[in-house]
Structure 1
């Protein structure tokens, strides 16, 4: 077996399995324990042993599986012991051969390794008080796992020391010894949080978006300086004095950076006890450096003044600069201050460089990255591509540029109304307004946010007020500062908050453009679905059917936008048949969920069995509804203009398809029914003449179509008889054929040679009323001339007749089909998905398998009849409520179970109807039942796709429904249906974890029986639960221990015995017991 194992496969599996372990060892600077022997023949066996050990650890780890680095720590030591035992190494501690630290006892690993760590997890969870305790007072899985991100984790030892700080529980921070003058006797060794402690505070709004706030404050300061000095033109910044004043923004930036450093310390203070020394040092250095930069930039900026202070002159002399006004020193320090930001911008623009630096283990690189962000085991090197960052940057640059321009120029708020609305807080403001109104009247109109407010602000500040009629709010304020503050406060608030508005506008525009290129929302309404339905088969075959020869596909916006799907031609019945199987499965699922009625289902379905005689694509009847009656009216009033009628019909592609399909179907049905030789000659001649004139384009010129409605009514009558298929209607069918022949030969065709072909059988030119009574001389009357009734009746024949009847008789529009909103949403979603860009579909056999796990505890599974009928305090029952919420679905349900009313449904004592009612209500009111049904659609979809992959042309044309209902499926393991089910079972598994299922089953609770019903309804459903078994203790026989087993159960297969007439019993079967 090992000799046949490919070395490349073994290496690939081992690489994937130990990827995280090797990454962990490299991060902590430790060599891995995966030592391979020098003898090549033993390498493969050693790899298998290493992988087997890891899988055994993972299998017995229980909840420790959520702590991946903890498993790495355990495996690191156990793999080293394995290597030492295999190599025969001697332990330097004992001088003996290396032995396992936890060996020699039964379940030693579970009891001595997993249990102590699990006890810590359990007690930490208990300390959390169900989440009500503060985040800093207890550790969850992530916090415990982060302990193993540091080299300090090796102080835990192997075997693990019971007194290690990792096992210390969260007790009070200090334990006081009353006998020792209430002084702290010992400090708690609880590790606590390692990297992150959640502190809920309003200040996180500013801390999390500090760069945005700093940028807005700096931009506001710069705009106010430019607007206040000179004319307010942005080009004024090129002026020396204005530029010098704008440079003060760097002092503001340093001050805000200092405030951020202080805020980081305050919000991380509760975690300082568990912080490592290098993290504390980083916080301290951040505060010190930020404060130093505030002082340095302030002092050097003062050197740019005309008369700097003496201290600034002293600093200036240190750098050999004696000029009284030298901005170069300030600019030099600004460049130094911005150098870390320049490096960060460089790494932002080139993410592959940052990705390399974050993963590097060089000390200088680690120091540089440590200053920007503490080093963590996870999240390193996770950056978007350069193109994504470029698009992200362009988006925000345009958004912020537009916001700043709008804030500076365009945001028009009439200053007059602003004053009356905002400033009339007291009559003192009114007095002020009246006194300087004439001064600022020319400046109050068309003012915007920043620039136009500068002039009125200056005017307000220059107005002197000596007397006030009301109370003076700011008696000692100078230059009317209170009015200025009242004027600017709402403007500043709007300046900071309108970014959300601009983000909504830009995200809408960019999202719309992106969606257009990605073809999102291609079909939004049923009207659009009808117009695009003819492209759906081509899109389905291009996207969801694997190609035999995979060609490289173009990618990107341009390729997606230009990609189109052609209509499936009529000669490609295989492609149309594939789409028909999928479409019918979707519609059938709608009917099973009672989203549509029987009539809507008939209008939405396409034929399961492809009719090769028609040589055209058969669209769903809801697209062709009312087309035939309209075409009849158009033909009746065509006035002999064949070309015009053809043009009008072909303008509507669905009308053209309906006319051609109805003619081809009637032709096929009549030829199937007519069996007499003479009758066949007449029918063949009539159809050949019609086909000849259609090809020549002179059908209307040669035939009189005024009698077409009469022929149409006779056809409809014939189809009704075929639907009933009763032997007593044979005479009526014969009369119908004779009447139709009479209409065709005498009222429509009106050709002499057709009379010569028919009249000898009728007795020459004798009037019809004078014909002899012998039926053997009449067409279609002789025995065997017509095959009626049809025997045997196949499903394909019945489907063909029903479809033709719908096409002929449906006169009202089907624009509202389906009428249910949920059905409309699902059809639109499915149709839209076909036009979106998606990867090439592989065959089901080649796809990756996947599993779905649904957690479940003690919620109700199915409504009982008592629960459905019991009214609440308002007198409303659950069933009544559901009937009012889903009235159309309730009517569809009654139609499906063949009941006319609720009373008839409840009056029937059938257990099957009772169960259907419970399921109908539970699918709309119980989470688990609805979830299970939705998840099992995955398996149905895989079965269908496997059928489309493996079916031959004959099976594909016969249809998915044919192989599903075949009698050979239960007998032949090699049948196509069995293979499809086997492939679906290999690729998809669904498990519901019902923790209390074992207890409910032993207690006989109805919940366990309901879960069994679900497993019986969906045989592929599996239920996992923990089974509790009492066993006598091996040490003390009188003591009873509780042993827990992990169980996986499925429903027992139904009995196939034909003599089994007992009621259905729901039983489960344990097929996995751990």
Structure 2
């Protein structure tokens, strides 16, 4: 008895061709049997949808597409029904583009426009992995002029996409297939090496799909596996963000994914995830409070501190007894100290959150693991941690010893040294991002530089200016409101509690009653 497959039919049953899934009109059947005697271009001319300039032009899209379709079908074994569908798809796209062209446009304008839309992601992908885009370099396409070789590129891309199944969910995988297969076409422009029908589906798409389908595996209790134990489309697609993928032939990429490429993204559901995702909000709120507190302290100890309104800022920087300039400097040090301390803890949380990437045994050439990211993270930890200790010492020693120190005297040069690199990076990213993107320095600026997605999402400068102006105005209003209503009225009570000498009934004695101030 013959063994039956999932469909209930025997294994020897003949597989249906794609063309049998579609209703075929008698007129189309007769036209196909007559070897397309009534060509699509002729019918378009009859319907008068083609500009007069293009009628009878030397660029014959249909003849070129037919040649490319037959050549590629024999070269890679695309299914006959799928090839016929994509042939009609491409011809209709070209006809639509041609109908929108102006009489003054070049004859191949519609073809160039389609190519630009189709290959924009492919060219961006090539730039990201530092390789040159591949274009068809052979000859023999009939009636093609100028950029007529684009017919081969466009037809190959649609044939790859047409039989890609769920591989379409991995755009960079499709870019890889197109890059490799077009290189194979250029290496054999005469098409001497041919494959049987179904070779592309069986040898290229199915192994990749089989790896992606593992995400549907279930455990012994028939429940889906945990997300850390399966690979989804994003994990597999990330393999093609590395230049290493170009060294793997298309017929072996499924085996490569199975043996040498594991899961790349682990979703950590922890407190670290929440803090890192909203770090900029936490950082802004804390630094906003520190800045307003330092400003209120500087105003309070100034000669005009007892006045109201804007007059109180008239002599800011001067101090009255019993305070000294040293107290004002210590307050100013609190600003870079808070910034460096938060940046240090952020780096530590990144280490905890991305520990699997830093300690992964996979090669950095085939996974998200990156020595550059690890070294950049270590550099930021040392930089921010070192300055946090330095600024903390500038605060702690003068308060304990009640005297100025050499470090405190060099406050402003040290603050400038800490802020200058970040300021230069911000200016470079705003006005000349090309100096950083795609270089070794990018890892020190952007943690996700190994991520292909979101590389070119910088908004136009006009939108950035509007965005910045809006937030500056909002911050000014918020600063004025928070200062006069929340921070300034609490400064004198805080200084009074700080100067009090209290008798504690327990062993928990805080430095200058700081514990009480924090509790209040």
Short-chain TM bin:
0.5 to 0.7
| Alignment of 1:72 onto 2:175 | yes
Residues 307, 324 of structure 1: 8 Å contact kept: no
Quick one: distance in 2 between partners of 1:78 and 1:84? 10
Change (3 A) 1:242 1:234: farther
Query: In the alignment, what sits opposite 2:234?
Result: 142
State the SS of the aligned residue for 1:159: helix
Out of 376, 384, 403, the residue aligned to residue 282 of structure 1 is: 376
Give the number of aligned pairs. Answer: 388
- In the TM superposition, what is the alpha-carbon distance from 1:67 to its structure 2 partner? 1.1
Change (3 A) 1:21 1:381: closer
Query: In the alignment, what sits opposite 1:198?
Result: 267
Counterparts of residues 156-195 of structure 1 (less than 5 Å): 156-160=248-252, 163-164=255-256, 166-168=257-259, 189-193=260-264
Counterparts of residues 560-579 of structure 1 (less than 5 Å): none
- In the TM superposition, what is the alpha-carbon distance from 1:222 to its structure 2 partner? 4.2
Deviations 1:794-842 (A, max 9, x none): xxxxxxxxxxxxxxxxxxxxxxxxxxxxxxxxxxxxxxxxxxxxxxxxx
Query: In the alignment, what sits opposite 2:350?
Result: 264
Deviations 1:151-196 (A, max 9, x none): 12234334315642x124xxxxxxxxxxxxxxxxxxxx54211xx4
Quick one: distance in 1 between partners of 2:482 and 2:154? 63
Change (3 A) 1:306 1:74: same
State the SS of the aligned residue for 2:201: helix
Task: Give the structure with the larger strand fraction.
Answer: 1
Out of 455, 463, 473, the residue aligned to residue 380 of structure 1 is: 455
Change (3 A) 1:130 1:485: farther
State the SS of the aligned residue for 2:251: coil
Quick one: distance in 2 between partners of 1:19 and 1:148? 17
Change (3 A) 1:140 1:298: same
| Alignment of 1:30 onto 2:118 | no
Change (3 A) 1:459 1:279: closer
Change (3 A) 1:299 1:483: closer
Gapped runs of 5+ residues in structure 2? 1-40, 42-56, 61-106, 306-311, 319-324, 361-367
Out of 467, 473, 479, the residue aligned to residue 398 of structure 1 is: 473
In our comparison, the structure showing a higher alpha carbon Rg is 1
Query: In the alignment, what sits opposite 1:244?
Result: 329
Query: In the alignment, what sits opposite 2:283?
Result: 214
- In the TM superposition, what is the alpha-carbon distance from 1:405 to its structure 2 partner? 3.0
Quick one: distance in 1 between partners of 2:383 and 2:497? 42
Query: In the alignment, what sits opposite 2:155?
Result: 52
| Alignment of 1:116 onto 2:207 | yes
Residues 167, 173 of structure 2: 8 Å contact kept: yes
| Alignment of 1:21 onto 2:122 | yes
Quick one: distance in 2 between partners of 1:197 and 1:52? 38
Gapped runs of 5+ residues in structure 1? 89-96, 169-188, 310-322, 412-448, 467-471, 488-1074
When normalised by structure 1's length, the TM-score is 0.33
Residues 180, 249 of structure 2: 8 Å contact kept: no
When normalised by structure 2's length, the TM-score is 0.64
| Alignment of 1:477 onto 2:515 | no
Residues 208, 254 of structure 2: 8 Å contact kept: no
Residues 300, 329 of structure 1: 8 Å contact kept: no
- In the TM superposition, what is the alpha-carbon distance from 1:275 to its structure 2 partner? 1.8
Out of 329, 333, 339, the residue aligned to residue 420 of structure 2 is: 339
Change (3 A) 1:386 1:258: same
- In the TM superposition, what is the alpha-carbon distance from 1:260 to its structure 2 partner? 0.7
Q: How well do the aligned residues superpose, as a CA RMSD in angstroms?
A: 3.7
Q: Which has the higher contact order (CA 8 A, sep 6+)?
A: 2
State the SS of the aligned residue for 1:377: coil
Residues 308, 324 of structure 1: 8 Å contact kept: no
Residues 121, 140 of structure 1: 8 Å contact kept: yes
Query: In the alignment, what sits opposite 2:87?
Result: none
Change (3 A) 1:143 1:308: farther
Residues 305, 325 of structure 1: 8 Å contact kept: no
Quick one: distance in 2 between partners of 1:299 and 1:475? 26
Residues 302, 308 of structure 1: 8 Å contact kept: no
Query: In the alignment, what sits opposite 1:369?
Result: 442
Quick one: distance in 1 between partners of 2:164 and 2:234? 16
